[in-house]
Amino acid sequence: MSSRTLPLLFINLGGEMLYILDQRLRAQNIPADKAKKVMNDIITTMFNKKFLEELFKPQELYSKKALRTVFDRLAHASIMRLNQASMDKLYDLMTMAFKYQVLLCPRAKDILLVSFNHMDAIKDFVKDTPSVLSQVDETYRQLIEMYTPLSSGEFQLIRQTLLIFFQDMHIRVSIFLKDKVQNSNGRFVLPISGPVPHGTHIPGLIRMFSCNGEEVKRLQFRNGGNYTGVLREGSFEMFGERVIKLGTNMYSVSRPVETHMSGTSKNSAQKKSVNTAPNPLAKEELNMLARLMGGMEVQKPGNADSVLLCYEHCFNQQANAELVKIMGDFTEEAGEPCSSSANSKGDDLLAMMDGL
Amino acid sequence: MYHKEKSIQMKSSASALYNNLSVLRIAPRSLTYFTVVHANMVNMVSASWDGLNYSHRQLQSKEANVATSSSLIMQAAWCVLPSRDILVLTSQKGIQMYESDGSIMVYWHALDTPETQTAQAVFARGIAAVREKYICVGISSGSMLVFDVPIKGSNITLSEVLEEHKESITDLASECSGSLECIADMVSADDSGNLCVWKSGEDFQLLNKIPDKAIEAFCSSVKLWKGTVVAGYGTGQIRLYEAVTGIVHAEVNAHARWIYSLDIAPFSGLLLSAAEDSLVRVWHLTMTPETNSVEIVHMYNECVTDTQICGAKFCDGDGYAFAVTGYDLSEIIRYTQV
């Protein structure tokens, strides 16, 4: 279908991945400098120039397996190590979050605003690192250049392509379940209330005209919903208010309640979080996990700096059994020492891309 | 006005594509066929009217050569001609035509796909049977292919290529009232909301072009009945135009999201609209030839909870029953009048 879908899929999934990793790094009280290095390394790889060049070429979407491999590599582009089960769960959460965002976009074009929300947050993660920041800015420019001229029909084709990619995925995500945006059967709640998209009128009016264009009759009908107004249009430029909240960080902390979550003042951008984000519940859940899993294991400096980081989210009712299993995995050997630079990681990704 | 009946289960779920449901009523055999597209496959279900027998068939999209990427199907629809019914599948690779029960492929037309991938997607979309012998199919380039279909057999030929639209075709519809008095035979809609009205024949003739004034317009579904074009838009609006002149008869703020499907029951003038907003609405159209006016009134709403509807069709010419499909749903939901 649309040959312009892959960049949006990659950037949005990558953005969700970064939100989750950032939250876990903070929840596990990883020292700030290490956490920052992890985030920077991953973001550097994600926005590698050569990789992005490949990504932005017109092409069909990768298969699910191929895309999963890309993210496996990306998640390991830093000193952080995840075991297989953790990676599975990370990927499930990323994909269900983006599926939700695509499905609930008011207009097809708003997928670009969702992408900008992710980009805005990523930019904030690396605002202190000029070299990475410039890569991120360059990506903004490429997104704007490629997508802002597209018509709404072309955006709808992109959206339909994404929906085919996400078809039949109904993994239950506890944050969504608790916030009642997902039903227990895994399907998302589609409200028939709230504001209508920009450019749409609230349903209810029929106007009939004579041959010379004069309105001759008006009828109202009951629309069966509870619509409350029209959304403003968000900004499609590098800066600006996006209006759409989809794609902002639903794991962000808006008030420091738990001691685990202290020291989050640096994440000021994320603090301007969505009103609808179930922050207390997300935190509670992650803290429970932290308690169950214990802390993480950090090797003495001087050794290859490998940090074993394991996390889990309660995704479904079988979570407890899974957790027990993961606890067993928790004591596995530390991951491979990371000695490669960001560049060679990028090359790995590229080489792997060529092979696809 | 309507109540829900027992749903029909499908082998796989419906994809989010416009007009993703086609219904063929076979009265002599007391059967109704339904087709729904799932990615690169079409689910075909035949349901007996007594509700006791269901049979399933799945049709695959034909991949030209040994393509690494699968060929996604954009639309599947029956074309009802006087002597035969043809099932047409349009995909990224081409157009497949089958005998009505899907058992035999009678024709394959490959699209010109460029060697290297271009930014412009290539696919066929928009299917209509026109008058006695034509099947028209739209292409992503904006062209429309007119096929000449013999009374029987597989000697289907490409009769004409209509080059009027500049954007991808979204939907085609032929005059469905059965009246021979109507001048316009077919209407075509494209990505930028433009509508073209045609007269069929050896050479199809463009009767009128109705441009869209709105910048963000996109027409996803279109019908033609008694010389009136009914068009459903991405903004959730439905508009009624006089086909030959382009005069706007009515404008309805019908849905809160993108309209995905429209259908008309030709004998009663009932109109069915369905959108991503989870709502199916039934309207009634009345023509007053003396004043050359068309009226539309709202009759009924049905909310298909938590579903982005992608297909909705009446199951008979009076609109006594209709069926609905939704993204990610593996069932065809049916409603009948109380």
C-beta neighbour count of A76 within 10 angstroms: 20
Residues A273 and A279: beta-carbon distance below 8 Å? yes
DSSP letter for each residue of B246-275: --EEEEEE--SS-EEEEEEETTTTEEEEEE
User: Strand B195-199 and strand B205-210: pairing?
Assistant: antiparallel
User: Strand A226-230 and strand B279-288: pairing?
Assistant: unpaired
Residues 234 to 293 of A: which have CB under 8 A from any B CB? none
Chain A contact for B296 (CB, 8 A cutoff): yes
Residues 34 to 93 of A: which have CB under 8 A from any B CB? 57-60
- Site of tokens 């990768």: A62
Residues B42 and B62: beta-carbon distance below 8 Å? no
State the nearest Cα–Cα gap between A222 and chain B, in angstroms: 8
Residues A322 and A312: beta-carbon distance below 8 Å? yes
Q: What is the CA radius of gyration of chain A?
A: 22
DSSP-derived letter for residue A149 is: T
Provide the pLDDT for residue A303: 28
Asked if A152 and B253 come within 8 Å (Cβ–Cβ), the reply is no
User: Strand A226-230 and strand A193-196: pairing?
Assistant: parallel
> d(Cα B227, Cα B237) in Å, to the nearest integer?
20
Asked if A201 and B235 come within 8 Å (Cβ–Cβ), the reply is yes
Q: Which residues of A touch B236 (CB under 8 A)?
A: 196, 200-201, 203
> d(Cα B302, Cα A223) in Å, to the nearest integer?
10
Asked if B170 and A153 come within 8 Å (Cβ–Cβ), the reply is yes
Across chain B, mean pLDDT equals 91
Asked if B192 and A208 come within 8 Å (Cβ–Cβ), the reply is no
Phi first, then psi, for residue A303 (nearest 5°) are -75, 175
DSSP letter for each residue of A38-93: HHHHHHHHHT-HHHHHHHTSS-PPPPHHHHHHHHHHHHTSSSEE--HHHHHHHHHH
Q: Left, alpha or beta for B265 (phi > 0: left; psi -120 to 50: alpha)?
A: beta
Q: Which residues of A touch B92 (CB under 8 A)?
A: 1
Amino acid at residue number A102? V
Q: From first to last of its 356 residues, what are the pLDDT tens digits of chain A?
A: 888 999 999 999 999 999 999 988 888 888 888 888 889 999 999 998 888 888 898 888 888 888 998 898 888 888 888 888 888 989 999 999 999 999 999 999 999 999 999 999 999 999 888 989 999 999 999 999 999 999 888 999 999 999 999 999 999 998 899 889 999 999 999 999 999 999 899 999 999 998 888 999 999 999 999 999 999 899 888 888 998 899 999 887 652 222 222 233 333 333 333 333 334 444 444 343 333 333 333 222 332 222 222 222 322 223 333 333 333 333 222 333 333 333 333 333 333 222 22
Amino acid at residue number B1? M
* pLDDT tens, residue by residue, B257-279: 999 999 999 999 999 999 999 99
Longest dimension (CA), chain A: 85
ipTM of the complex: 0.93
Chain A contact for B235 (CB, 8 A cutoff): yes
Half-sphere exposure of A158 (CA within 13 A, CB side): 27
Q: Does residue B330 register a pLDDT over 90?
A: yes
